[in-house]
């Protein structure tokens, strides 16, 4: 794990603000271009020189290292903190935002720790810092970043599967479906990188070309051959009890883009909509379950389940009066049974898979899926979803409207 670094002192802050040649510091007079601040965060997380030390973005400081007197308001600090949660910087950076005083004037300080899983990208583009200059990483620099990963410290989904080879990946699916979603158009148009390099840069293979768990799950020819639990079991029952007659039974065992698409279609065709003609001249249509809520909760289950300690699938059981969704794996990281489901409280057991779902367009913003599901269920007249959070699994029950 990464060493914990003590907060920067006032004297250290003064020194880095004045060091105009530093590759660990970037200065912004104001937050007029949020994208450039995000690029700076991305570059600090990549730490191409290999300092192993935090990088800093100073907002409210000019190019000469002097504070500008920019008002450091709570909305400005929240805006900076939101750079981590909006899903544009992936994998998620480890960063803190604070209000500090430089030369007697308030500034905003963004402190970014080097990533254990580089390269880190902003909107599909890997940024680095060389001396005082920020730039897009070249293919050779991306390779250096990828080789820096430490396998022992990697999340399970980023670890190599030594029994797999490049032939176990669907390279057409990777090239024609995943890449256009994952990389910025200008990076894709440059087309300087080989397929092998792109796979490694996106953490689908290790630097030696061996597929990772996430690579097999996302673009593998047969994911369950290597990760037995990498499928969804869908069961529809004609009654309120699991022992009632089975209407439909589906096992979705496909690479992630196809699995997510098929799951969306399966949810869509199972939602029933009633028509109310008694409320006026305009008919009112109401589904028994809002599709958005089902999508959010099933995708949440896929993103946060454990693949390492269980071979069980994500299970969706559709009964006559309710839908039950269960995934193997309890709360992870900073998420506990007590704070489970609170907006913004999130952590990632499978950061590479979470990144893949984000790039494919199935996750718009991290940390708000459950809150979104609750909102649309309430608007549709469904009861509050009931979560059961256990050490080895999480389940949610949604009652029919």
**Which one of 225, 240, 275 terminates a domain?**
225
On whether both 244 and 221 belong to a single domain, the answer is no
C-alpha to C-alpha distances, 270 to 289, 316, 323, 372, 373, nearest whole angstrom: 9, 12, 11, 21, 18
On whether both 263 and 344 belong to a single domain, the answer is yes
On whether both 236 and 221 belong to a single domain, the answer is no
Residue pLDDT, tens place only, 340-372: 988 878 888 999 999 999 999 998 777 789 999
Name the domain count of the chain: 3
Residue 145 lies in a domain: no
Residue 44 lies in a domain: yes
Q: 252: which residues sit within 8 A by CB, 6+ positions away? A: 231, 232, 233, 234, 259, 262, 263, 266
On whether both 102 and 195 belong to a single domain, the answer is no
On whether both 213 and 286 belong to a single domain, the answer is no
Residue 2 lies in a domain: no
On whether both 61 and 165 belong to a single domain, the answer is no
On whether both 327 and 356 belong to a single domain, the answer is yes
**Which one of 192, 225, 258 terminates a domain?**
225
Q: Does an H or E element contain 108, and which?
A: strand 105-112
Which ranges constitute the DSSP H helices of 4-58?
10-18, 34-46
Q: In the prediction, which pLDDT does 384 show?
A: 96
Residue 1 lies in a domain: no
Instruction: Render the burial of 161-181: b for 16+ CB within 10 Å, e for the rest.
Output: beebeeebbbeebbeebbbee
Q: In the prediction, which pLDDT does 258 show?
A: 98
On whether both 58 and 17 belong to a single domain, the answer is yes
On whether both 104 and 44 belong to a single domain, the answer is yes
On whether both 236 and 374 belong to a single domain, the answer is yes
Residue 116 lies in a domain: yes
Q: 2: which residues sit within 8 A by CB, 6+ positions away? A: 94, 113, 114, 116, 153
Residue 243 lies in a domain: yes
Q: What percent of the chain lies above the pLDDT cut of 90?
A: 70
**Which one of 225, 242, 275 terminates a domain?**
225
Residue pLDDT, tens place only, 10-61: 999 999 998 877 889 999 999 999 999 999 999 999 999 888 899 999 999 9
Q: In the prediction, which pLDDT does 86 show?
A: 85
Whichever domain contains 375, its CATH number is: 3.30.565.60
Overall pTM > 0.85: no
On whether both 263 and 391 belong to a single domain, the answer is yes
Residue 5 lies in a domain: no
Residue 212 lies in a domain: yes
| Rounded Cα gap, residues 352 and 299, in angstroms | 14
On whether both 220 and 238 belong to a single domain, the answer is no
Q: Which domain, by its residues, includes 307?
A: 232-399
Q: In the prediction, which pLDDT does 342 show?
A: 87
Residue ranges in the chain modelled with pLDDT below 50: 1-5
């Amino acid at each position: 794990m990464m060493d914990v670094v003590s907060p920067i002192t006032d004297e250290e802050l003064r020194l880095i603000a004045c060091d105009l040649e530093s590759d660990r510091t970037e200065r912004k007079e104001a937050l007029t271009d949020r994208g450039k601040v995000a690029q700076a965060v991305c570059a600090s997380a990549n730490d191409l020189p290999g300092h192993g030390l935090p990088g800093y973005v100073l907002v409210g400081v000019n190019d000469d290292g002097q504070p500008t007197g920019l008002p450091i308001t709570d909305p400005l600090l929240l805006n900076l903190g939101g750079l981590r949660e909006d899903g544009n910087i992936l994998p998620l950076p480890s960063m803190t935002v604070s209000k500090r005083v430089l030369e007697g004037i308030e500034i905003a300080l963004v402190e970014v720790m080097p990533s254990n899983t580089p390269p880190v990208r902003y909107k599909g583009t890997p940024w680095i810092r060389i001396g005082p200059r920020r730039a897009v990483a070249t293919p050779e620099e991306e390779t250096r970043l990828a080789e820096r990963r430490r396998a022992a410290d990697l999340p399970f989904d980023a670890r190599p599967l030594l029994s797999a080879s490049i032939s176990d990946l669907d390279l057409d699916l990777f090239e024609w479906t995943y890449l256009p979603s994952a990389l910025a158009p200008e990076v894709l148009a440059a087309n300087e990188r080989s397929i092998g390099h792109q796979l490694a840069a996106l953490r689908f293979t290790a630097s030696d070309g061996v597929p990772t768990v996430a690579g097999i799950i996302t673009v593998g020819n047969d994911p369950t051959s290597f990760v037995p639990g990498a499928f969804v079991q869908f069961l529809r029952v004609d009654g309120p009890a699991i022992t009632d007659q089975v209407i439909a039974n589906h096992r979705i065992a496909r690479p992630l883009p196809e699995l997510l698409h098929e799951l969306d279609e399966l949810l869509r065709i199972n939602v029933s909509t009633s028509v109310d003609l008694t409320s006026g001249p305009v008919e009112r249509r109401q589904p028994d379950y809002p599709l958005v809520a089902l999508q959010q909760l099933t995708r949440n289950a896929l993103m946060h389940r454990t693949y390492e300690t269980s071979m069980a699938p994500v299970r969706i059981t559709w009964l006559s009066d309710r839908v039950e969704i269960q995934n193997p794996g309890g709360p992870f990281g900073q998420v506990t049974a007590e704070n489970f489901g609170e907006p913004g409280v999130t952590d990632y057991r499978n950061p590479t898979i979470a990144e893949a779902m984000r790039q494919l367009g199935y996750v718009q913003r991290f940390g708000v899926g459950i809150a979104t599901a609750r909102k649309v269920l309430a608007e549709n007249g469904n009861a509050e979803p009931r979560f059961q959070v256990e050490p080895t699994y999480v389940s949610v029950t949604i009652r029919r409207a």
